[in-house]
Amino acid sequence: MKSLAITELIHEAAALLLQSNQAVALTGAGISTPSGIPDFRSQDSGLWRRFDPMAVASLAAFRYQPETFFEWVRPLVASMLSAVPNPAHTSLARLEEAGLISGVVTQNIDDLHHRAGSKTVFEVHGHLRRATCIQCYRSYSTEGHIETFAECGEIPRCDDCDGILKPDIVLFGEQLPVEIVSSAQKLIDESDLILITGSSLEVTPAASMPVRSLNRGARLIIVNMDPTYLDERADVLIHADVVDVLPQLADELLNKKRGGAD
């Protein structure tokens, strides 16, 4: 792909989105790092550069040493609670409201897409809005409790059996939420354009979700700072900050949809 100025690439991406019958966004940690949430795999600051994920964030570690998990996750939870949606999140919400994308499939657990106003969001790695007792399996809303945990670090327990409450996020060695993943894959399969933003596509199954649709001829736009294994298949490839690119893309699309001048 020839090197083009970012503005020209945004024009090309906008043209593809306007031609699309159904587009979907697939997002990863890179859309939330500008909001102050650390990612897991970046070379310099990723959490897995400092922690062994199997020791702190696996299902086995949670069951046998839950204190270690809660000690590790507490600052991450605090950062998510204090974070606010950034312009990249709100841009996707604007595009969905305008009917230019049909929804968001995300690897993130931070709830920022919902808080930005997106309506159709499939969180394939779970979320922090609910927690489940590992003994009696009662499900709890974390509203009001998660803030207390972030502040004082007290491990949350079930009111019925005193079992430990596990946040509804997917740990290593744990099955992904089948219905959510199936619905996310269906949305991607039905789309003729996929907008990948803020994901280096290193974690399956999210990384492989676009492939079937691409093999059937779907178009592909990638906005990400780092290379991905699908770069060579992208119709438009923008190696730039999502916070810079997505607002410009949304502005251009909404202006064109309203019949504004180019």
Return the active site residues. Answer: 125
Report the SS3 class of residue 9: helix
Determine the distance from the C-alpha atom of residue 62 to the mean position of all C-alpha atoms in its chain, rounded to a whole number: 23
C-alpha torsion 167→210→116→262, nearest 10:
170
With beta carbons less than 8 A apart as the criterion, state whether 220 and 194 touch.
yes
Spatial neighbors of 11 by CB under 8 A, at least 6 apart, are 252
Structure tokens given for 184: 């996310």
* Residue 165 phi, psi dihedral angles, 5° rounding: -90, 125
| End-to-end alpha carbon distance in the chain | 24
Closest CA to 1 of 194, 200, 224, 232: 232
- Listed in order, strand segments (DSSP E) in the chain are 23-27, 104-106, 121-123, 126-133, 139-141, 165-169, 193-197, 219-223, 236-238
Report the SS3 class of residue 22: coil
Closest CA to 221 of 29, 22, 17, 21: 17
130 strand-pairing partners: 141
